[in-house]
Structure 1
Amino acid sequence: MSVTPLAAHLSARPAAFRGRIGRDARSGHYAVPRRYRLHLATADPDCLRIAVTHSLLGLERACPVTFLSAVPDCPDGGHSALRPLYDASAHRYTGPALAPVLSDDWSGRIVSSHGPDIARDLARHFGGGRPALYPCGAESEIEAVERMCAQGIEEAAQRAGAADAEAAERAAALDTLLTTLGVLERGLGAHEHLISDQITAADVELWVALVQLDTVHRHHLDAAAVHRIAGHPALWAYARRLAAHPAFGAHLDLDAIARRHHARCQGLEAAGAAVQILDWESHAADGTAARSQVNRP
């Protein structure tokens, strides 16, 4: 699939730490197996992307994961389990202790809390001999898919379901969402993957966006809008196939996503809440079995 980058910049949640994993000691944080640890709450989409990436790369031994509760337990929206790391990493840090976090077990400090950087560094510096999630020459296409998912799907879906927005604004946002889905539908065609003949980071990005669209955003859309969103058979068949892949389905915890949504959501539920697009639990049966082997709060 050929993807044309959007002009607007990708919006992202501000990250308190933006350290990077490098190739050698001069980079500050060089790649050493079992030096680093991930802290993830997979009900959060940023964390879900990293968890899928981590599993696709088979890094369970090289970079252990600590899974956090779906709903943060601090009043400021942070995780109390992460507070010691944040306090050790920044003098008098006053912000919330958010996931995702990549920490350095050698120093007891945080390397990064920026999801896209973490995923890229795992793939580039621990991915030797493993699937090429960022194939050479495909970086611009992957970045374009990231922008499409962030702006054309997630942001557009939020605006389309915003109860305090004008009807015209909601209609325009829905049109943006449907246009984006249409582009992706035509791009997929009969292909199994988005930009290559194998799974790449673009597939991880799009799959998580589709999970959020069906399990979170549709709750604030009317039924007619959800039926129009569902009218992209190639796209949802693609989402269903990936959900059956253990690296994806193992991290799909629908109950956790629902609890996180209800704890954070300030919008009004609409008729679309009753119109589920995919039966994720059924399609992710293999992944669910794998997830039962992991101790999660």
Structure 2
Amino acid sequence: MSVSPLATATHPHRPAAFRGRIGRDARSGHYAVPHRYRLLLSTACPDGLRLAVGHAVLRLDESCPVTLLPAVPDCPDGGHTALRPLYEASAHHYTGPALAPVLCDDWSGRIVSTHAPEILRDLDRFPREGGPRLYPRGTESVIEAVERMCAEGVEEAAQRAGRADTDPAERAAALDVLLDTLGRLERRLTGEEYLVGDALTAADIELWVTLVQLDTVHRCHLDASAVHRIAGHRALWAHARRLAARPAFGRHLDLDGISRRHHGRCRGLEAAGAAVQILDWAGHAADAPDASRR
């Protein structure tokens, strides 16, 4: 099976979207075999952080190695020089930015996928003896619902609530959406260790990365009272704190990289919430036990 971009870039700021999938057998073209694929990502990017954590939870270091990229892309168009050969080999006359993350096929030297949610699902299908599953059978719809809540009700709402050039009523409405979504996630976690069932799943990874972004990026554009209300969801932040202390999570937390990436991309105004840190992420990550116990 050949993989081609869904939209070949003709504009320097319009990237191609590769959506190849890894199947379960050779007939799929890209099948889940050890030592064939490689992840290239930056943990300063939310998608890259999700994949790095999921990859570590699944213990795929040997069968699917990871190449870490700089926190701040080194090309003016927002791409990575290291990824340029892969993009050019995978799309004829490609002129767009070479963006991360990328799942590539080392056998062919071409890109399989740049679509982070599908990459994580395909990593979960890699053959291995025992171990956790990020998408256990029967939980897919619940996990997808959590992913939508995090993307729309937290990430997008937080961005709208922090836009200084938006009407105050719109910002207030967005903050209401954000707080309502956090409240619903809080209720799911109250008295529970995990969001879905009795084991860690992709839903917990999604929420953790979302909370990292909320506390390290989005709160910088919110007022202090809003950040205090966000911090009041104690079950959510306790969950984030517990996961940060796990090596699969904490060792991938590049706070300096996240800050540099944010300041390199953001043109918004800093607000009083920037002074109200919710969690000591570095401290909790430092509490993680030896990585061999993850």
- TM-score calculated relative to the size of structure 2: 0.92
Match of 2:99 in 1: 98
How many angstroms does 1:286 deviate by? 4.1
Residue segments in structure 2 that go unaligned for 5+ positions in a row? 1-13
Instruction: Confirm whether residue 176 of structure 1 aligns to residue 173 of structure 2.
Output: no
* Mapped partners of 1:160, 1:24: distance in 2: 46
RMSD, aligned CA? 1.5
Other-structure match for 1:214? 215
Distance 2:215 2:16 in 1: 26
Instruction: Judge conservation of contact 1:38–1:66 (CA < 8 Å) in 2.
Output: yes
Match of 1:54 in 2: 55
Cα drift, residue 125 of structure 1:
2.8
The match for 1:65 is 66
Number of the residue aligned with 1:251:
252
Deviations 1:83-131 (A, max 9, x none): 0100001001121101110000000000000000100000023455220
Query: Does the Cα contact within 8 Å between 2:15 and 2:96 map onto a contact in 1?
Result: no
| Higher relative contact order, chain-length normalized (CA < 8 Å, sep 6+) | 1
- Deviant stretches of 4+, over 2 Å: 125-128, 286-290
Distance 1:112 1:65 in 2: 15
Q: How far apart are the structure 1 equivalents of 2:22 and 2:289?
A: 31
1:120 aligns with 2:125: no
Confirm or deny: 8 A CA contact 1:18 1:111 kept in the other structure. Answer: yes
In the alignment, the residues of structure 2 paired with residue 238 and residue 288 of structure 1 have an alpha-carbon distance, to the nearest angstrom, of 17
Q: Deviations over 1:236-268 (max 9, x none)?
A: 001000000110101011001000000000100
Tell me the CA shift for residue 217 of structure 1.
0.2
Assess if the C-alpha contact under 8 Å between 2:71 and 2:260 holds in 1: yes
Structure 2 residue aligned with 1:44: 45
Within-5 A mapping of 1:136-147:
136-147=137-148
Q: So what's the TM-score if we normalise by structure 1?
A: 0.91
Total equivalences in the alignment:
278
The aligned runs of 1:134-283 (5 Å cut-off) are 134-283=135-284
What secondary structure does 2:131 align onto? coil
CA contact (8 A) 2:16 2:96 kept: no
Q: Which amino acid aligns with 1:283?
A: H
SS at match of 1:124: coil
Q: Corresponding residue for 1:4?
A: none
Q: What is the rounded CA distance, in whole Å, between the counterparts of 1:74 and 1:58 in structure 2? A: 32
Matched letter for residue 94 of structure 2:
Y
**Structure 1: segments with no counterpart, 5+ residues:** 1-12, 291-297
> 1:164 Cα deviation (Å)?
1.1
CA shift digits 1:261-293 (9 cap, x unpaired):
000001000000000000001011045986xxx
Deviation at 1:14, TM superposition (A): 7.3
Identity of matched residues, %: 76
Q: Which moved more, 1:14-23 or 1:89-98?
A: 14-23
Q: Distance in 1 between matches of 2:19 and 2:142?
A: 23
1:57–1:214: structure 2 CA closer, same or farther, 3 Å change rule?
A: same
One-letter amino acid of the counterpart of residue 233, structure 1: R
SS of corresponding position for 1:284? helix
